[in-house]
Chain A
């Protein structure tokens, strides 16, 4: 049985809809397919988590959706409007409606501008007068927990956690319906990380914000996301409700990933951690068929010969695997 790759009807009600997204880079050693043809749909007010390990293509996917990297193939629709052909002012406006929050907040801020102007920048693109946009930026900074006394300071005067609050304020100042977060809490200490995660949870509830939340931290993703997509070597291998994906993983890769995370409770100490075989193959030369087959405990000959199609394994839960876990196949 096959299904639409993300278990939806193709994004009629979506804020964000990516179809057949492919990103290829030319390198000296050949062409790398960082994103190998994926579909993602985000409904209004929905948070979709995107997880995977280094090199799986999750960040490139985020950047391609935001049009910071132009997709080689495929379509990205924001509120039904195709972004692929946009240029110049139109493109900048579309990006302001789908801002992106990075792991290193200061890297994307002009160090010579006061944070109130950093936050007001997306409104400048929209032609909002200076007094108005500063006022809006101050309101937004206050909402994310920055003291009004600090808004005239420069980015380098802020700690990592505070700078991330500023980046979130800038992302939200133009009231976007969807925000892309790329590892926004990965560089922070746990207690500061908790503050930022709580802030994101509050903002999404208060503002009905949709998000693409990209992270390698499965617990943070589960905490924030409604649905989760798991990526391996440029392809999505499983999508479904966050709990189902983590607690009833159907793809062998998802299962490996979930069981590699140490459990923060000594009473639940496991006899031995499950180990995955080998290393992620080079994206220059991905395996035929299922890309995880070279490391998969359940692989058979069909896995080398045929691309696995998505099949339904639960409510809104699909997997691209010839022998999904729990199916007896």
Chain B
């Protein structure tokens, strides 16, 4: 075994493809605003696989949707911050310019494949519509392109299957159609929310391989939202961990996996069955309690405090801010500084 990892390292000197500053997205609800995403900043570089991990309700899916302004305005209680894509401020674009960006420059795969497909159009017709809007290809060229794209995501007998309606395909097959549609215009950025979670591992492996190939060949940048830490370990360059709507730790995959700073990150890693097996024990670390609710005013304490095994005095008084700890690693945790500079707080 060569042991050489297939890194597609993004060049740090590259200008970011996607640059998000202080994004906050809160939703209206009967119980007051739901703080889904709060003050999130992140960037994705060309060719980079950036993974965003967290559990249900951590805000990772809401973040993906709000980047592309997919939430109807009436749902939003608060929506502030800046989203720059290829240097342009997406917030300033009108809806038609935004549609030009979505689908062509940015491919999008959301969690539920059924809602992304129109049930009364064949696969060929719907992917064909994307190509008609964004390219000048003729009918025959479009057909060839669609067959190639469906082939690429492992749909057998693509030339025949493209005549099917979504209802004739299995869930896994539909998800692959959505992925093919997201990639068909050669986007420079792919935003994917749990795109392979519902798929069998053998299919997942081939789709991730396809994405890695596109990163290498076309410098496709990827914002990949997942709870599967195996996929993160095997494919991502950098990873950010979300908890209660905020990013609580970020760094290179090697760094975060080898030496997590935030106790939540550590607990998340320890609860992965594969890591327990590798370490030779049968007991999985689990996190007591549940994530906090996101309605009502945000506590001044750290959101993880009630579940944190290592909390110290300051954690109850001040919410930690995401701060560089060491060598490009950032964490929102008082412990990071308590250990390094005992007098800091």
Residues of A within 8 A of B (CB): 53-55, 159, 189-195, 197-198, 201, 216-220, 222-223, 256-257, 260-276, 278-279
Contacts and interface: CB of A to CB of B under 8 A. Distances in A.
A220 B257 contact: no
Interface string B199-221: 01110111011000000000000
B156 A279 contact: yes
A329 B221 CA distance: 45
B283 A198 contact: yes
A263 B232 CA distance: 9
A265 B156 contact: no
Contacts of B230: 261-264
Contacts of A261: 201, 230, 274
Contact of A223 (B3, B229, B282): B282
Nearest to B157: A279
- Nearest 3 interchain pairs by C-beta: A262-B230, A269-B5, A194-B284
Contacts of B2: 271
Contacts of A219: 272-274, 277
Contacts of A264: 229-230, 232-233, 257, 269, 272, 274-275
A206 B268 CA distance: 27
B236 to A, nearest CB: 8
Contacts of A279: 154, 156
Contact of A263 (B1, B170, B274, B286): B274
Nearest to B287: A191
Nearest to B229: A264
B305 interface: no
A189 B56 CA distance: 7
A192 B2 CA distance: 37
A263 B286 CA distance: 20
Given A260-B204, A261-B201, A269-B234, 15 more contacts: A194-B286, A197-B273, A216-B201, A218-B201, A262-B230, A262-B231, A264-B229, A265-B233, A265-B278, A266-B5, A273-B234, A275-B209, A276-B206, A278-B156, A279-B156
B6 A269 contact: yes
Nearest to B236: A266
B250 interface: no
Interface in B107-156: 154, 156
A191 B271 contact: yes
A266 B229 contact: no
A262 B277 contact: no
B6 A272 contact: yes
Nearest to A242: B277
**Which range holds the interface residue count of chain B?**
35 or more
A93 B208 CA distance: 47
Nearest to A259: B205
Contacts of B272: 190, 219, 264
A195 B307 CA distance: 14
Interface string B248-270: 00000110011000000001110
A176 to B, nearest CB: 22
B74 interface: no
A265 B275 contact: yes
A224 to B, nearest CB: 8
Contact of A190 (B3, B227, B235, B254): B227
Contacts of B228: 262
Interface in B1-50: 1-6
Nearest to B273: A219
A159 B293 CA distance: 13
Contacts of B209: 272-273, 275
A51 to B, nearest CB: 10
A260 B201 contact: yes
B55 interface: yes
B6 A271 contact: yes
B233 A262 contact: yes
Given A194-B271, A264-B233, A276 B202 contact: yes
Interface in B170-223: 170, 172, 200-202, 204-206, 208-209
Contacts of A256: 202
B321 interface: no
A189 B226 CA distance: 11
A266 B256 CA distance: 10
Nearest to A224: B282
Nearest to B307: A191
B284 A197 contact: yes
Contacts of A272: 6, 209
Nearest to A196: B286
Nearest to A246: B277
A161 to B, nearest CB: 8
Contacts of B273: 193-194, 197, 217, 219-220, 222-223
Contacts of A222: 273, 277
B201 A191 contact: no
A191 B286 contact: yes
A189 B234 contact: no
B290 interface: yes
Contacts of A257: 201-202
A31 to B, nearest CB: 19
Interface in B282-333: 282-287, 290
B276 interface: yes
